[in-house]
Amino acid sequence: MQYELWIEEDQEQTFCVSGPRGDSARALLGVNAKRVWTVNAQSHFEAMTKYHQYMGWRAYVAAFPDIENVPFDPSYGENPV
C-alpha cells in the first residue's frame, strides 16, 4: 500500500493512504499543502516505522502489534506493494 506525507505552511502534517482511500484526509488539507514524500509498505506497522525514520523520530512502537503487523491483503487496496 502506498502512503503520502503532506506538509502545510504551518508545518502541520498529514500521513495518509494514497489514492481514493486517502481522499477524505486530503480534503482537510489547505490549498498550499504539498506532498513531500511517498512510501510503500506491506503493513501499517511498516508504514509507521518508515514514517518515523523519515522524520528522524524515535522508533515507532505499535499500540496493537497483533493487528498492525498483519500484511495488507492486496485484494483490499488499490495500491498493494
Write down the pTM of the prediction.
0.85
CB 14 within 8 A of CB 26: yes
| Residue 25 one-letter amino acid | A
pLDDT in tens, the chain (81 residues): 999 999 998 889 999 999 999 999 999 999 999 999 999 999 999 999 999 999 999 999 999 999 999 998 877 655 443
Angstrom distance (rounded) from CA 11 to CA 33: 9
- Going from N- to C-terminal start, the domains of the chain cover 2-68
